[in-house]
Chain A
């Protein structure tokens, strides 16, 4: 199961970015907007946080980027790699397990017999 390397890479926000890129390739601004819209205005990611995070994911080989030209302006588009999909699958499983555990506690789930 893929885990964060403790250098500020994936885990929380990194996982969300990978999930966005799993659906389609995006450029930076699109990701900020998609994250805001899909989180129902909860996540407002600053661009100053976004790019170092994207470049960290790129250094880990989980995303790649390529430069294209749109309306005369160079635009860098990010794509998820096969390793990135595998890492996302691992992080997603970890997250669901964690969320289930928290829900179990909050909702007073089955007693462990103590």
Chain B
């Protein structure tokens, strides 16, 4: 009978809560409260049935509670960000259409049609992830590791005969593009490691560098830098937010230690490589190598584009409209970054902050590198100008990252950080609960000699 009363109460509250995903955590908190109250009544001598019925009666009118909880827990769809992505996608497709009309060749027409199909698929990916539950990524400890293994090792699914030719398109796709998604399951892994010490931070710092190894096989140094850099930013943010046990300074050192060591090692290797020295010399001083790599940097820095490429969208538009295009693009990137970072650091849970940052960093880093590359000031290759430049796979990857970001914003009212085993709050023993009233407590201590 009492159990029925409890179910009726919870059903009546749940009926008022319109967001289905919110019902379960909210009703769980109320049922936990009823269980605590019933246990207290039982301790006072009531029978279990009476105690439960009395605990339900203590809760108050269910419809009023449900209405109030419903008002406080509505999904935040963040339409402005979705609209911004839609506008960028639209502008990107329009630029492809203009290129198609200007050149009038069959290749441009083919690329335009391909990009249009890619846009439809990208919108589908974005919407699916936007309305999905991103907490599935870290509800089970094995999920982040499995997701990272799939992203890192998907290229092994390709027939071994193809693997001999790294440059064949399917191999290249599976070596480069999945690493851009890696920061998201990496953030989920950090979420499951709350309360761990500096050793866990050090291992995560090593993992951030090692996981995108497939990009180096391609080889695509920029993809590796974007992925590893994003994961390091997420790891350092977790350290700063006090996610790990121990002093933040030491944890930050443990996070950055592997990256600093790798940077020194790479610097040493580059210093010994004649080819790398030649590339870097041409990058810093194109005039020294006017017919080799220097030619490329010199032309881009002068604002001259001698052939069309999906990697040179900004440079091409700038050649037609003027150099202001670069400054407008930079302002746009900085403004979007500032607005989104402000929104991210206002999220309620640190779990949400880390996941959102993991989705945002690869987008921002890609945009910044693309901008530098188009100005002739990036020594390696470019990836994409998210949602704008040509590339169907890039569209899908960037849409997936934006979808995760939107999902985090949408579910903010529901997601809570899990308490670490060692960080669980400890109730003060009754014996120490000193009723001081208006008096004062004097504590004397002596400094150790």
Contact = CB atoms under 8 A, between A and B. Distances in A.
Contacts of A58: 348
A49 B37 contact: no
Interface stretch (A11-19, A65-73, A91-99, A101-109): A65-73
B29 A51 contact: yes
Interface of B: 26, 28-30, 32-37, 40, 58-62, 64-65, 68-69, 72-73, 346, 348-349, 413, 416-419, 424-425, 427-428
Given A25-B425, A59-B72, A67-B416, A46 B30 contact: no
Contacts of A48: 59-62, 64-65
Most chain-A Cβ atoms within 10 A of its Cβ — which of B26, B68, B346?
A: B68
Interface of A: 24-30, 32-33, 46-49, 51-52, 55-56, 58-59, 61, 64-70, 73-77, 79
B419 A46 contact: no
A46 B68 CA distance: 14
A46 B35 CA distance: 15
11 contacts: A28-B33, A32-B33, A46-B60, A47-B34, A47-B58, A48-B59, A49-B65, A52-B68, A55-B69, A55-B73, A56-B72
Contact of B28 (A47, A61, A66, A74): A74
Contacts of B72: 52, 55-56, 59
A76 B32 CA distance: 9
Contact residues of A: prevailing secondary structure: mixed
Contacts, number: 84
A74 B72 CA distance: 21
A28 B36 CA distance: 10
A74 B60 contact: no
A97 B78 CA distance: 42
Contacts of B349: 64
A73 B416 contact: no
Given A46-B58, A46-B60, A67 B418 contact: yes
A40 B449 CA distance: 46
B65 A51 contact: yes
B37 A47 contact: yes
B337 to A, nearest CB: 22
Contact of A74 (B32, B34, B69): B32
Contacts of B60: 46-49
A99 to B, nearest CB: 14
